[in-house]
A and B are shown apart, each in its own frame.
Chain A
Amino acid sequence: MNQPQKPNNYLVLAIICTVCCCLPAGIVGIVYSSKVNETYANGDYEAAEKASKNAKLWSIIGLSTGVIVLILYFLIFGFAVFASAMENGGF
């Protein structure tokens, strides 16, 4: 039986995404990750490839949203953050 290689399930990326910033996108990423493994185990390789692409897409959407929000946050409140950090910092 000749099997194609198992597509990457991007589970780690989805986990990082869930914990760090964007809950909804991270959850979607984990769902697609499980789809990759299950469809591959059932021998449906095309579906596994599709799910793999989706998992990657959603995790990257989540992470980039998080990074953009952080950058915006620092642009708006950056000065305040550092000012308060200087007051309360452990130096």
Chain B
Amino acid sequence: MYIIIGALLISIIPLYYFYDPGNVTNFPKCPFYTITGFLCTGCGSQRALHDLLHLNIIGAFKHNMLFIPTLILLSYYLGLKLLEKLNGKNYKNYFDRTKTPRIILYVVLIFTIMRNINVSPFNVFAP
């Protein structure tokens, strides 16, 4: 399962390196945004990925503030799973704490609502 996802992700990286989703007109857009007109949590992450591949960290932050933290979370989880497989131990995993999913849920909801408010202080969150 994870191997399939990983292979897919690695295979699309060159595509995002060479093409800027912000400039190419017919690049696949977020279906949620296309249908509802509201920005979703992940809107801007394609542009953020393009920026990140070009080592433009500030640009990635501007397009989607949660993109880099998400990558860090995912690599933490995958790294932990790898270590467990290699050493045959069970490590304490922050994802298994009682409060973790709830905190992530609140962060996602608040971030998504804020980036849809088109007034000055909240504009920071929009892609």
What is A's interface to B at a CB cutoff of 8 Å?
A: 6, 9, 11-12, 15-16, 18-23, 26-27, 30-31, 33-34, 36-38, 41, 66, 69-70, 73-74, 77, 80-81, 83-85, 88-91
Q: Which of A22, A37, A81 contacts B101 (CB 8 A)?
A: A37
Please indicate the chain A residues that have their CB under 8 angstroms from the CB of B31 in the complex: 21-22, 66, 69
Chain A proximity mask over B9-32: 1 for CB below 8 Å, otherwise 0:
000000000111001111110111
Q: Which residues from chain B contact A69 at a C-beta distance below 8 Å?
A: 31
Total inter-chain residue pairs, C-beta < 8 Å: 96
Given A11-B100, A27-B108, A37-B96, 19 further pairs, Cβ under 8 A: A9-B96, A9-B101, A15-B104, A18-B41, A19-B70, A20-B42, A21-B31, A22-B32, A23-B41, A27-B105, A30-B104, A37-B99, A37-B100, A66-B31, A73-B28, A80-B26, A81-B28, A84-B27, A89-B19
Q: Shortest Cβ distance from B77 into chain A, in angstroms?
A: 5
Main secondary structure of the interface of B (DSSP, over half): helix
- A-B contacts, 17 listed (Cβ < 8 Å): A9-B101, A12-B74, A15-B73, A15-B74, A30-B108, A31-B105, A34-B101, A36-B101, A69-B31, A77-B26, A81-B24, A81-B26, A83-B26, A85-B19, A88-B24, A89-B18, A91-B18
